[in-house]
Amino acid sequence: MSLLQCLVLIVSLSIKTSVSSAHLNIPRLSPNGGTFLRGNYFAHDQQKTMSAADPINDFETFYYNQTLDHFNFRPDSFSTFQQRYLINFKHWGGSNVSAPIFAYLGEEEAIDVDLSIVGFLSENAHQFQALQIFIEHRYYGKSVPFGSREEAFQNANTLGYFNSAQALADYAEVLIHVKKKLHAQHSPVIVIGGSYGGMLASWFRLKYPHVALGALASSAPIRYFDNIVPPEDGYYSIVTKDFKEASETCYQTIKKSWSEIDAIASQPQGLSFLSEKFHTCRPLNKSSELKNYLDSLYSHAAQYDSPPRYPVTFVCGGIDGASGNDTLTKIFAGVVAYTGNRSCYVNQPKNLSETGMGWSWQTCSDMVIPIGVGNDSMFPAYQFDLKDYIKSCKAQYGVPPRPHWATTYFGGHDIKLALERFASNIIFSNGLRDPYSSGGVLEDISDTLVAVHTKNGSHCLDILNANSITDPGWLVNQRKIEVKIIKRWIAKYYADLQAFKK
Ligand SMILES: *[C@@H]1O[C@H](CO)[C@@H](O)[C@H](O)[C@H]1NC(C)=O
Ligand SMILES: *[C@@H]1O[C@H](CO)[C@@H](O)[C@H](O)[C@H]1NC(C)=O
Ligand SMILES: *[C@@H]1O[C@H](CO)[C@@H](O)[C@H](O)[C@H]1NC(C)=O
Ligand SMILES: *[C@@H]1O[C@H](CO)[C@@H](O)[C@H](O)[C@H]1NC(C)=O
Ligand SMILES: *[C@@H]1O[C@H](CO)[C@@H](O)[C@H](O)[C@H]1NC(C)=O
Ligand SMILES: *[C@@H]1O[C@H](CO)[C@@H](O)[C@H](O)[C@H]1NC(C)=O
Ligand SMILES: *[C@@H]1O[C@H](CO)[C@@H](O)[C@H](O)[C@H]1NC(C)=O
Ligand SMILES: *[C@@H]1O[C@H](CO)[C@@H](O)[C@H](O)[C@H]1NC(C)=O
């Protein structure tokens, strides 16, 4: 698998078809985009990335007997499950010199995926003499409680242990266990994560400062809760900006396409006309099937709008360069440009992925990220309706979400005021083309709580495998700045450790 895997579909379309609210689904928060689209855009980029990342077989796999429920003492809370983590010892300077530990905190997918695309740890392990650990998030990959995925995802009784607070406690237990095993009590730990995992990394530093010296939180929208960011000024306003900047005519074409789709769909035979026009894999039953597909495609292109090929430019190249003149011919040309020449598009039969299943529960429990669409968007306006959202989640899982829990437990409101007098050693990195950057920390909070962003960067770009040939200077520079900051934290820690030992 290569870096290019990151450039795929964010939204699990099967969830998005749910009832009334078109934007019920929250685009997945992951360094990796999945494996849905794979077309022209990719064909040119299939060469192996020029990354200095260590091969996967340099990692040894371990399992930790993890506690099911860290937060109460009922007998059934003591049951355990096997949590997977992987260690690479190759560059480690050892416990005698308290050499550092880089710990990647997994997000909503199997950890194998991260191992192949997240290069930041192994590309820098040598110069830090660092141990590398990748820890899988509970309920994903091989770290599933209750013996099987089927059992674990049965209902809210078994899913109830699936939340961010439990995941952070898992990471703390694993890291303390590993440090003890390696007699590395004084080795400084730097936690690293991307997207939802980036949020976990920053929260881990805030909640477990005795375990982690610092955090690199890449594309972590920790302010995207509880309307800290007005829902209509967030995600879709950046998608719109990206397209508008890439091409004004492309933006205009997309903007007017929605009402044309609706107009056609409302006519007799309209849906079969649209099905034919878009070569759908199965006939459209509702125009929303097509609109959701297009919405996901544009969002995905924006979220993963990374060099060297920049998918938004690619989609707009298709739209602007279409041989036909009418709006829908142009739109379809954009689809083909991005997904490639296929036998069919839209309504493709597919099973809900592991990430789709897991993220759906997470966004219906503690990770409620309110996303709406403003009036000046290229998408149809949509006001996020919390009541509606709660109702849909409750219908699906039998329990309502807790939309205010994230800010109660982690904070987020007036973040500068709260953190400048309390926290330290977190890098909030972002690419401003990433729609999720709208919920990120984009200004320095203090000397050690720093925002490092790039204007043309995309989701999690800084921690993904480097490409020595195609990475632009601003990206190389962003990574250098991050490394320098982490070096400074560690140097200060070693000085304090010396003094402490005396
Ligand atoms: C982990 O749990 C398994 C199964 O319950 C048990 O066989 C094993 O000994 C445990 N390992 C440790 C290190 O406690
Ligand atoms: C670490 O220190 C111990 C005790 O001083 C010593 O016995 C051991 O050989 C050292 N290990 C390494 C790898 O230097
Ligand atoms: C459309 O409706 C028919 C009949 O209810 C159903 O068999 C088919 O699967 C639906 N198509 C899609 C794409 O959901
Ligand atoms: C393109 O559209 C314009 C009006 O929108 C029309 O005048 C022109 O004939 C069309 N060109 C082609 C090639 O269809
Ligand atoms: C797309 O594929 C079809 C057959 O599946 C082929 O006839 C057509 O020429 C292809 N178009 C392009 C642009 O490659
Ligand atoms: C969905 O899963 C079923 C059962 O595992 C499998 O038979 C089927 O081929 C899958 N469908 C797709 C589109 O992957
Ligand atoms: C869009 O504009 C309408 C009318 O001007 C207003 O009622 C509505 O609240 C606006 N919606 C959003 C999402 O700003
Ligand atoms: C960002 O991309 C735009 C459009 O491709 C380009 O004009 C601009 O120079 C880039 N900015 C930076 C800082 O690289």
Contacts of 496 (CB under 8 A, 6+ apart): none
Angle at 387 between CA 382 and CA 390, to 5 degrees: 105
Task: State residue 122's pLDDT score.
Answer: 96
Q: Is 226 left (phi over 0), alpha (psi -120 to 50) or beta?
A: left
Residue 7 has pLDDT above 80, yes or no: no
Could you give the residue numbers annotated as active site?
195, 434, 459
What pLDDT score does 32 carry?
A: 62
Ligand 2, atom 2, residue with closest C-alpha: 96
| Ligand 7 center–CA 312 separation, angstroms | 27
Calculate the alpha carbon distances from 3 to 115, 120, 135, 397, 420 in Å.
11, 12, 20, 35, 36
Locate 378 and state its tokens: 């290229």
Q: Is the CB of 93 under 6 A from ligand 2?
A: no
pTM higher than 0.85 for the full model? yes
Q: What is the pLDDT of residue 56?
A: 86
134: part of which helix (H) or strand (E)?
A: strand 131-135
Give me the pLDDT at residue 1, please.
Answer: 25
Q: What does the alpha-carbon distance between residue 492 and residue 392 come to, in Å, rounded to a whole number? A: 50
Mean pLDDT of 91-96: 97
Looking at residue 51, its pLDDT comes to 65
Residue 452: half-sphere exposure toward Cβ, Cα within 13 Å: 30
Ligand 2 center to 180 CA (angstroms): 16
Distance CA 305, CA 311 (A): 5
Biggest CA pair distance of the chain: 84
Residue 162 C-beta-side C-alpha neighbours within 13 Å: 30
Are the C-beta atoms of residues 434 and 459 closer than 8 Å to each other? yes
- Closest Cα to atom 5 of ligand 6: 351
| Closest of 212, 187, 43, 31 to residue 119, by C-alpha | 31
Q: Is the pLDDT confidence value at 259 over 90? A: yes
Nearest-ligand number for the alpha carbon of 43: 5
Per residue in 299-345, pLDDT (tens digit) is: 999 999 999 989 999 999 999 999 988 999 999 999 999 999 999 99
pLDDT band for position 137 (cuts 50, 70, 90): very high
12 falls in which pLDDT band (50, 70, 90)? very low
- Helix (H), strand (E), coil (C) string for 158-198: HHCCCCHHHHHHHHHHHHHHHHHHCCCCCCCEEEEEECHHH
Q: Which residue has the least CA distance to atom 7 on ligand 2?
A: 96
Q: Is the pLDDT of residue 243 over 90?
A: yes
Mean pLDDT confidence for 482-492: 98
Question: Model confidence over 139-191: pLDDT tens digits?
Answer: 999 999 999 999 999 999 999 999 999 999 999 999 999 999 999 999 999 99
User: For ligand 3, which residues put their CB under 6 angstroms from it?
Assistant: 282, 285, 347
CB of 455 sitting under 6 A from ligand 8: yes
Domains of the chain by residue range: 244-339
Q: How far is CA 356 from the centre of its chain?
A: 12
What is the C-alpha R_g of the chain? 23
- The tens digit of pLDDT for each residue in 377-429 reads 999 999 999 999 999 999 999 999 999 999 999 999 999 999 999 999 999 99
How many angstroms separate the CA atoms of 197 and 100, rounded? 20
Q: pLDDT of 383-392, one tens digit each?
A: 999 999 999 9
Q: Which residues contact 477 (CB under 8 A, 6 or more apart)?
A: none
Both tokens assigned to 124: 């820098």
- Is pLDDT at 245 greater than 60 in this prediction? yes
**pLDDT attached to residue 493:** 98
Q: How many angstroms separate the alpha carbon of residue 444 from the centre of ligand 3? A: 51
CA nearest neighbour of 412 among 451, 389, 441, 434: 441
Instruction: Give the pairing type, strands 101-105 and 131-135.
Output: parallel
C-alpha 186 – ligand 1 centre gap (Å) = 27
Secondary element (H or E) of residue 133:
strand 131-135
Nearest to 2 by CA among 142, 115, 97: 115
Ligand (nearest to CA of 64): 1
